[in-house]
């Protein structure tokens, strides 16, 4: 399976979106105290990095 730069960035974006959703879900449904806010904030950070990876496709 040949993977070029764009394919690697697409997979990284997909994986980071899944992890971000999982972290936000943990923060929303599992932890009811201050830790939930931390999990949700890190999940949003994963979305931001995934957005950057998506923007880099075709440019590197």
The string of DSSP letters for 1-60 reads: ----HHHHHHHHHHHHHHHHHHHHHIIIII--SHHHHHHHHHHHHHHHHHHHHHHHTTT-
| Residues 46-55, mean pLDDT to the nearest whole number | 92
The CB-based long-range contact list for 32-40 (8 Å cut-off, 24+ gap) reads: none
Does the structure show a pLDDT above 90 at 3?
no
Q: How many domains does the chain have?
A: 1
Domain around 5? 1-59
pLDDT tens sequence across 15-40: 999 999 999 999 999 988 899 999 99
Question: 2: which 2 tokens?
Answer: 């040949």
């Amino acid at each position: 399976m040949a993977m070029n730069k764009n394919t690697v960035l697409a997979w990284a974006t997909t994986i980071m979106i899944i992890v971000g959703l999982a972290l936000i879900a943990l923060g929303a449904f599992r932890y009811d105290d201050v830790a939930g806010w931390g999990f949700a904030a890190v999940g949003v950070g994963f979305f931001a990095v995934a957005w950057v990876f998506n923007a880099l496709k075709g440019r590197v």
